[in-house]
Amino acid sequence: MGPPGVGKGTQAKGIAEHYGVPAISTGDIFRANVRNQTPLGLEVARIMAEGSYVPDEITDAIVRDRLAEPDAAAGWLLDGYPRTLAQVEALDGVLAGAGHGIDAVISLVAEEAHLIDRLLKRAELEGRADDNAETIKHRMEVYNEATDPLIAIYRERGLLVEVDGLGTVDEVGQRITEALDATPAR
Ligand code: AMP
């Protein structure tokens, strides 16, 4: 978890590879659908371009189906999900049904002003449809309102692993694996 631009996607791929589990990114799944102009893609394109959240029912169904794929049987890393309280509850339900649990919730921390700069630079480099000044501001607001409060839930559950998100990709990645390796096995 972490605010837009903190490096969730990049770190998720590295950490998942390190532990030999798939990185499941709802943002990547939605973007692939938009690119391929699937019915789902056509439904979510506008929502994503304006930086709002895709409705919970759609997102929850995608994650539920993805977690049922064979490659997720021995573990997974979710990137960008859950993002709302309803998604936390939906995930709890899916995991309870499967007899699985969450080992850890990684929270990447960085200052908002720094992240806005980072996102504006990414906009120039990658040209993501949702990386422009107006949308970035909206995404930060949505994050602060809907997602940031979820961190407290996972902290209360004793699952939160907070990591400083500032630094090179390798530095932050190392911090995460060190913190996870120091976390008691569940
Ligand atoms: P991301 O790549 O994680 O920043 O996600 C890009 C966009 O996909 C978000 O701004 C949302 O529009 C949508 N999205 C990704 N994950 C979720 C989620 N868990 N709930 C709702 N919308 C999501």
Total of domains in the chain: 1
In a domain, 158, yes or no: yes
CB of 139 closer than 6 A to ligand 1?
yes
What is the extent of the structural domain holding 119? 8-181
In a domain, 1, yes or no: no
Q: Residue 70 belongs to what H/E stretch?
A: none
In a domain, 3, yes or no: no
Write the CA distances from 95 to 67, 73, 88, integer angstroms. Answer: 9, 12, 11
In a domain, 48, yes or no: yes
Average pLDDT, the chain: 94
CB of 5 closer than 6 A to ligand 1?
no
CATH code of the domain covering residue 107: 3.40.50.300
Q: Which amino acid, 119? A: L
In a domain, 57, yes or no: yes
What pLDDT digit, counting tens, does each position of 120-143 carry? 888 888 877 777 888 999 999 999
Q: Ligand 1: which of 1, 11, 30 to mutate, judged by most atoms within 8 Å of the beta carbon?
A: 30
Asked if pLDDT for residue 186 goes beyond 70, the answer is: no
Q: Which two tokens stand for residue 153?
A: 């839930």
What pLDDT digit, counting tens, does each position of 23-76 carry? 999 999 999 999 999 999 999 999 999 999 999 999 999 999 999 999 999 999
